[in-house]
Structure 1
């Protein structure tokens, strides 16, 4: 048996070469190559397009909510810092309204932190969230110590508050901003992946079309038949799948509008603007706590406001409600600084934390409210675009697979009669 095996294999290989050169052999080769390419294109397309649909669901259920929670976390932490400074500047026992703002800011920060913790899936996000969770109690403890000393009129209270604010500015807010930037980038990355053309699938579909064309040419040479309905039907199904994929992906990309003027970029820019507004407000209140040279604080305030205005004008335009409220706030700040430099501390304090409509506190509240409304509107547009993109792609995996299975079946059905002629 042993010596016969090589001879048998050699004879089999020789027979296969001879059969491949015959017309039936050519037809079988066309069927095998074309069907394999159809199946490969169908299953690859279903996998790639199904991944896009899954990623769209991930954006709506995980990536975007986590980015929004990170932005809310930063705003809440910064608001708590500013509210703590306002409460300290009130002297003695702060008003219920100021105390309520501080407590609400802490509650918002805790809620946003819990949401970010629940949604954290990567090591970087978990690390940032853990650092914020560990340092937030230290901040609140320093604020309460400052508050207790301030009630008793001890000057050391301001030192505790400055230490609390330093912890907030140098660590808590930097970590929160890092988290916000990282999660916003993750949203844009997911959007780009959804909008990207499935190059592998498109390449395989083009190969199927090439195989159908090549098969038709070989049949013409071998059988003198110009048209094979099976190959024509397969080519038609493949072309339809190709058009469907390109059109649905292009529509998804247009729905998300992921360029530099799209909702995703606007959302990120407005989130940065709201963060800058909070930073400028903190600069404004801390100036009065130090009771010294405010040059450094003014420089920081002016830098933050300049960056804030640039982002507001870029997204919302000059003369928008946010731009107008920002102008009014900076005018109120100018009045505060003039009073301080004129050694009228009480007037500067009243302008900074007063409840009147002309105070810096009231005008900043309007800035933050306006930016918050614009951010919510832009977020809804972003989510609506992602949802529309998902709708455009939802049928693509099934349609692609069905069309390519139909193309494979059409090839077999169309070429089987030609093969039977030689059997």
Structure 2
């Protein structure tokens, strides 16, 4: 009982001693050194953590975000290619060639592989809904295509109705879902790129606060020691300035390398993806209009709308003499030849122009356009990856460097104030 009664008294006495000590010069200097050392260490740990996160984000983009965005683009193209190839197979006659059949199956296999890759590790509800929709629609689509193929082999006109129904499902449901997935993946890619290049504000704020604390500490030291400059505190402030400059310069360098602006590599990749999608949509329209065997004015209007948009986008990412621009012009010329043949009641000639293997056919020229666009996409994709890698490289070793600088600042602060403190002890 006696011990318990003495404990509060001891605590009160200790608190009173601490208050009296805090009013003395040694107490003030002790508080200054402890506060500056603690703030320096905390700032160093925060800087190291934020800068490490940027390097981790760089690795995430290169191994996850960017490959998934590319896979989503390939998914759309593969699905569109399957639809266009199914139409070409139908136009080729009662029994399609083995080559056309192989291309159709390969397009579906590519779509399945791209869908699996584009949704790897995805846990958000939107992606799960998209995957569920595409997974449910694709078997229906392939069933309708097979029904069209079976009726076409027997010469039954109902086959074209099945094919139009299949294409409508692809164009109105499957492809919009694939486009949503692509936009989702590109949004994630841009967010990750932005996280890499933006200034780590918390680190910068803490370093600025630390610099102000050094200034305030210097004023306190001046009042109690009559020394204008404390070498240790001055050295610590210099180390803090170096850490701040390191972070700012690295962030500026990363922003310049990653180039996420409207003319940057990521924007060009998005535009080229859109161009390739528009080309696939127009190619599908080009083959479907011959299956209708009626008035193609509405189909031509849809084709023209897609082609005009494609042309507008193409001029922003390539010059007039590029392989893609040249291939686009020749494909347009091939399409015009096809339409003229159809309007002249030369249906067989129009079909041959649309799906034939001659160098001047629309099919051959479209294949050249798609190859040129794929090459442009591959080149731009590598530029995106190089930019991300370079942006991460701008922060290389920064987490260790800033931490060491701020630990050195803490040590310099303690080393600079301790001799002054000893004068009072």
Q: Matched residues in 2 for 1:193 and 1:296: separation?
A: 46
For the 8 Å contact 1:69–1:115, the answer to whether it is kept is yes
- The correspondence for 1:49, drawn from 51, 57, 62, is 51
8 A contact 1:337–1:348 mirrored in 2: yes
Q: Give the structure 1 partner of residue 293 of structure 2.
A: 291
CA offset at residue 126 of structure 1?
2.4
**Separation of aligned partners in 1, 2:64 and 2:71:** 11
Taking the aligned partners of 2:203 and 2:293, their CA distance within structure 1 comes to 67
Equivalent-residue separation in structure 1 for 2:296 and 2:414 (angstroms):
84
| Offset, 1:127 | 2.1
The DSSP-based 3-state class of the residue aligned with 1:365 is: helix
In structure 1, the partner of 2:353 is 351
CA shift, 1:52, in A, is 1.1
- The answer to whether the aligner puts 1:172 opposite 2:170 as a matched pair is no
**Structure 1 position 286, deviation (Å):** 0.7
Mean Cα deviation higher: 367-376 or 27-36: 27-36
**1:248–1:393 contact (8 Å) kept in structure 2:** yes
Answering whether residue 68 of structure 2 is matched by residue 101 of structure 1, we say no
- In the other structure, the counterpart of 1:90 is 92
Give the SS at the match of 2:94: coil
Q: Which of 326, 329, 332 is residue 330 of structure 1 equivalent to?
A: 332
Alignment coverage as a number of residue pairs: 423
In the TM superposition, residue 13 of structure 1 has moved relative to its aligned partner by 4.4
Q: Supply the distance in 2 between the matched residues of 1:312 and 1:29 (Cα, whole angstroms).
A: 66
Q: Which moved more, 1:77-86 or 1:207-216?
A: 207-216
CA RMSD of aligned residues (A): 1.6
Report which stretch shifted further, 111-120 or 375-384.
111-120
Number of the residue aligned with 1:60 = 62
Choose from 127, 147, 154 the match for 1:152.
Answer: 154
1:134-170 Cα deviation digits (max 9, x unpaired): 2212211211111111111011111111111111111
Segment of structure 1 superposing worse, 284-293 or 107-116 = 107-116
Query: How far has the Cα of 1:12 moved from its partner?
Result: 4.4
Matches within 5 A, 1:131-280: 131-280=133-282
1:119 & 1:336 partners in 2: Cα distance?
45
Q: TM-score, normalised by structure 2?
A: 0.96
Asked whether the 8 Å contact 1:31–1:412 carries over to 2, the reply is yes
Q: Secondary structure at the match of 1:34?
A: helix
Distance in 2 between residues matched to 1:290 and 1:244, nearest whole Å: 66
2:37 pairs, out of 32, 35, 38, with 35
Which residue does the alignment assign to 1:404?
406
Deviation at 1:192, TM superposition (A): 0.7
Distance, in Å, in 2 between the alignment partners of 1:265 and 1:180 is 14
Aligned to 1:308: 310
8 Å Cα contact 1:66-1:119 kept in structure 2: no
1:7, distance to aligned residue in structure 2 (A): 6.2
Choose 332-341 or 4-13, whichever is displaced more: 4-13
Residues 78-102 of structure 1: per-residue CA shift (max 9 Å, x gap) = 0000000000001111122222221
Asked whether the 8 Å contact 1:70–1:180 carries over to 2, the reply is yes
* Counterpart-to-counterpart distance in 2, 1:84 and 1:108: 15
Counterpart among 13, 28, 32 of residue 26 in structure 1: 28
User: Are the equivalent residues in 2 in contact too, given 1:116–1:129 (CA < 8 A)?
Assistant: no
Structure 2 residue matching 1:293: 3-state secondary structure: coil
Aligned twin of 2:395: 393
Instruction: Tell me the alpha carbon deviations over residues 398-423 of structure 1, each in whole angstroms, 9 at most, x when there is no partner.
Output: 21222111211211122111111111
- 3-state SS of paired residue (1:226): coil
Shift of 1:392: 1.6
Deviation string, structure 1 residues 285-316 (Cα, Å, up to 9, x no partner): 11001111212211111111111111111111
Distance of 1:261 and 1:359 partners within structure 2? 35
User: What is the SS of the residue equivalent to 2:120?
Assistant: helix
User: 8-17 or 99-108: which moved more?
Assistant: 8-17
Deviation at 1:317, TM superposition (A): 2.7
Q: Give runs of ≥4 in structure 1 deviating > 6 Å.
A: 1-7
TM-score by length of 1: 0.96
Judge which range, 385-394 or 121-130, deviates more.
121-130
Q: Does the CA-based 8 Å contact 1:142-1:164 persist in structure 2?
A: yes
Q: Is the 8 A contact 1:147 1:157 kept in 2?
A: yes
Q: How much has 1:117 moved relative to structure 2?
A: 3.5
Where does residue 373 of structure 1 map in the other structure? 375
